[in-house]
C-alpha cells in the first residue's frame, strides 16, 4: 500500500469500518511510515477535540418547562379552535342534543339528536356539547361505544370513564371515532352528579361509503 | 363565554408525551446547541419542536426508535429557521461550499484557542458538511442513524463525511491549527 491509498483509508480505520485484512495491511504500513502515523495521530486528535467541544447547558429546569409549555400552548390553541367551531355550529353545521339541567334520573333519546353517520375506516371527530345552567363539580362521565366503533386513539377501548367539572354554558367533548365495519348501534353517554344520572343515547351508523357530515352535537333546548 | 373543554384523554396523553419525549430533551438541546451555537437559540429551537410534536403526540406512539426520528425533526426545523433567517433558496442548502450566515452567536461557552478556531472552521463549512460533522463526529450519531435522519444512503453519507473532514482539515491548516501539527512544530 502506498501513502496516498493509506491516507484515504485513515478515516475508516479510525471509525473501525475496515475489514480485518485491510486493517492488517494498513497497520503494517503505519508501523513502517512515520508520516502516515503522524497523519493518523492528527486525525485522531481532531476527532477527540470535536467530541470534547464545550457546550453551554440549558437553563435549570429547561426540560420540564419545555414539555409543560408545549402542553400549555396546545391547550390555548385548542380552546381557540373550539370557540371558533361554536360559531360555525350556530351557522347551521351543528346537530343539537343533550343536557339541560339536572332532574331526577331519566333516560331519553332527545328528538333533537340525529344519528351520527361514519364512513368505515375513516376517522372523524365527533363533538358533543353539554349545556348546563350552573357549575357542577365532581361530575362522573361514562361513554360506551357501539360494537364495531372505536376511538381512533384508543383502539379496542369500548368504555371511557372519567371525572371532570361542568361549567355554566357549553362544555365540549371531542371523540375521534372510527368504524371498523358496517354497523348500527348507539353511543351512550352517562353523566352523573350528586348521585343523579342522566343517560343520552345517540344512534350511530357506519357505512362503507358514508355521507356523515353533521358531527357536532349539542343541546339547544334544556331537556 | 368560552366553552369548557372536556378532555378525558388529556391527562393520559400529556403523561404519555412527557414519558416518551422527556428522556430525549437533553439530547435534543445538545444537538440544537451544536447547530445554533448559543443557549438562547438552542432553547427556542427545542421549545418550538416540542410544541409542534405535542400536536402529533399520538403519532409518536407508533415510532419505535425516537432518537433519530427526533433528531431529524429538529434538524428539519433548524434548516427551516436558517432558511427564513437567510432567505436562502431551498436548493442552495445542499450545495457544497454554500456560505450561510449562521444564527447570531450570543453564547458564553468557554472555548480555548483551538476550540475557537475549530468552531470558526466548522462555521465556514457548507451546511451539508457542517451538519454531518456535528452529527457524527461531535454528537456521535452513527452512519445508519444519519441515514434515517438525513434520508440518504449510508455509502453517500460516508463519502460526504470523508469530504467534510478533509475540508475541515484544510481550513484548520489555513490557520496552522491542526492539533498535532502544533505539537510537531514545538518539538521540531
Q: What is the DSSP letter of B120?
A: H
Render pLDDT for A181-208 as a digit per residue (tens, 0 to 9).
888 898 888 888 777 778 878 888 888 8
B143, B158 contact by CB (below 8 A): yes
Q: Per-residue confidence at B69, pLDDT binned at 50, 70, 90?
A: very high
Average pLDDT over every residue of B106-110: 56
Residue ranges making up the domain that contains B21: 16-187
Tell me, yes or no, if B51 comes closer than 8 A to chain A by beta carbon. Answer: yes
Q: Cell triple for residue B6? A: 372536556
Cα gap A194→A184, rounded to integer Å:
33
With an 8 Å Cβ cutoff, are B6 and A173 in contact?
A: yes
Partner A, chain B 68-97, Cβ-Cβ below 8 Å? none
Contacts of A78 in chain B (CB under 8 A): 5
Average pLDDT of chain A is 75
Kindly report which listed range (A9-23, A137-151, B33-47) carries the lowest average pLDDT score. A137-151
Render pLDDT for A80-116 as a digit per residue (tens, 0 to 9).
333 323 323 332 223 333 444 344 334 444 445 567 8
Average pLDDT over every residue of A158-164: 83
Cα gap B132→A174, rounded to integer Å:
44
Q: Cell triple for residue A90? A: 350556530
Distance of CA A185 to the CA centre of its chain: 26
Q: How far is B91 from chain A (nearest CA, A)?
A: 28
Among A88-102, B20-34, B73-87, B97-111, the range with the most confident prediction by mean pLDDT is B20-34
Cα gap B33→B38, rounded to integer Å:
6
Closest C-alpha among A31, A198, A42 to residue B182: A42
Reduced to 3 states (helix: H, G, I; strand: E, B; else coil), residue A202 is: strand
Q: Per-residue confidence at B177, pLDDT binned at 50, 70, 90?
A: low
Domain count, chain B: 1
Query: Could you tell me the CATH number of the domain that includes residue B72?
Result: 1.20.140.160
Whether residue B92 is contained in a domain is answered as yes
Closest C-alpha among A95, A118, A99, A121 to residue A108: A99
Cα gap A212→B63, rounded to integer Å:
31
Domains of chain A: residue spans and CATH:
3-51 (no CATH), 80-218 (2.60.40.10)
Which residues are within 8 A (CB) of B45 and not within 5 positions of it... i.e. 6 or more apart?
A: B32, B35, B36, B74, B77, B78, B81
Closest C-alpha among B35, B177, B33 to residue B109: B33
Cα gap B96→B72, rounded to integer Å:
20
Q: Per-residue confidence at B9, pLDDT binned at 50, 70, 90?
A: low
State yes or no: pLDDT of B68 exceeds 80: yes
Contact pairs from chain A to chain B, CB under 8 Å: 151
What ipTM was reported for this prediction?
0.79
Whether residue B2 is contained in a domain is answered as no
Contacts of A160 in chain B (CB under 8 A): 8
Amino acid at each position: 500500500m502506498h501513502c496516498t491509498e493509506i491516507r484515504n483509508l485513515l478515516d475508516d480505520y479510525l471509525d473501525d469500518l475496515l475489514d480485518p485484512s485491510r486493517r492488517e495491511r494498513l497497520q503494517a504500513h503505519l508501523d513502517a511510515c512515520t508520516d502516515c502515523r503522524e497523519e493518523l495521530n492528527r486525525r485522531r486528535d481532531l476527532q477527540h477535540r470535536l467530541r470534547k467541544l464545550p457546550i453551554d447547558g440549558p437553563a435549570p429546569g429547561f426540560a420540564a418547562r419545555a414539555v409543560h409549555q408545549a402542553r400549555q400552548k396546545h391547550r390555548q390553541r385548542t380552546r381557540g379552535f373550539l370557540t371558533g367551531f361554536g360559531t360555525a355550529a350556530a351557522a347551521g353545521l351543528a346537530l343539537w342534543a343533550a343536557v339541560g339541567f339536572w332532574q331526577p334520573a331519566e333516560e331519553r333519546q332527545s328528538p333533537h339528536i340525529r344519528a351520527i353517520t361514519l364512513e368505515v375506516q375513516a376517522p372523524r371527530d365527533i363533538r358533543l356539547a353539554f349545556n348546563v345552567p350552573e357549575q357542577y363539580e365532581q361530575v362522573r362521565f361514562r361513554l360506551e361505544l357501539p360494537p364495531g366503533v372505536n376511538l381512533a386513539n384508543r383502539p379496542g377501548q369500548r368504555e371511557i370513564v372519567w371525572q371532570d367539572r361542568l361549567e355554566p354554558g357549553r362544555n365540549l367533548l371531542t371523540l375521534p371515532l372510527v368504524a371498523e365495519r358496517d354497523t348500527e348501534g348507539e353511543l351512550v353517554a352517562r353523566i352523573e352528579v350528586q348521585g343523579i344520572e342522566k343517560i343520552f343515547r345517540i344512534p350511530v351508523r357506519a357505512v362503507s361509503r358514508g355521507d356523515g357530515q353533521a358531527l357536532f352535537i349539542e343541546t339547544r333546548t334544556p331537556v | 363565554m368560552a366553552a369548557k373543554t372536556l378532555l378525558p384523554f388529556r391527562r393520559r396523553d400529556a403523561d404519555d408525551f412527557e414519558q416518551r419525549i422527556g428522556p430525549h430533551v437533553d439530547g435534543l438541546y445538545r444537538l440544537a446547541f451544536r447547530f445554533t451555537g448559543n443557549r438562547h437559540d438552542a432553547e427556542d429551537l427545542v421549545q418550538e419542536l416540542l410544541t409542534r410534536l405535542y400536536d402529533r403526540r399520538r403519532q409518536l406512539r407508533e415510532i419505535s426508535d425516537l432518537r433519530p426520528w427526533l433528531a431529524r425533526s429538529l434538524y428539519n426545523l433548524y434548516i427551516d429557521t436558517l432558511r427564513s433567517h437567510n432567505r436562502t433558496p431551498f436548493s442552495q442548502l445542499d450545495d457544497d461550499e454554500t456560505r450561510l450566515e449562521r444564527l447570531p452567536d450570543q453564547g458564553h461557552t468557554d472555548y480555548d484557542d483551538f476550540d475557537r478556531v475549530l468552531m470558526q472552521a466548522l462555521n465556514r463549512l457548507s451546511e451539508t458538511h457542517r451538519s454531518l460533522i456535528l452529527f457524527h463526529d461531535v454528537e456521535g450519531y452513527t452512519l445508519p442513524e444519519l441515514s434515517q435522519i438525513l434520508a440518504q444512503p449510508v455509502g453517500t453519507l460516508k463519502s460526504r463525511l470523508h469530504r467534510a473532514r478533509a475540508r475541515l482539515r484544510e481550513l484548520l491548516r489555513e490557520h496552522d491549527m491542526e492539533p498535532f501539527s502544533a505539537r510537531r512544530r514545538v518539538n521540531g
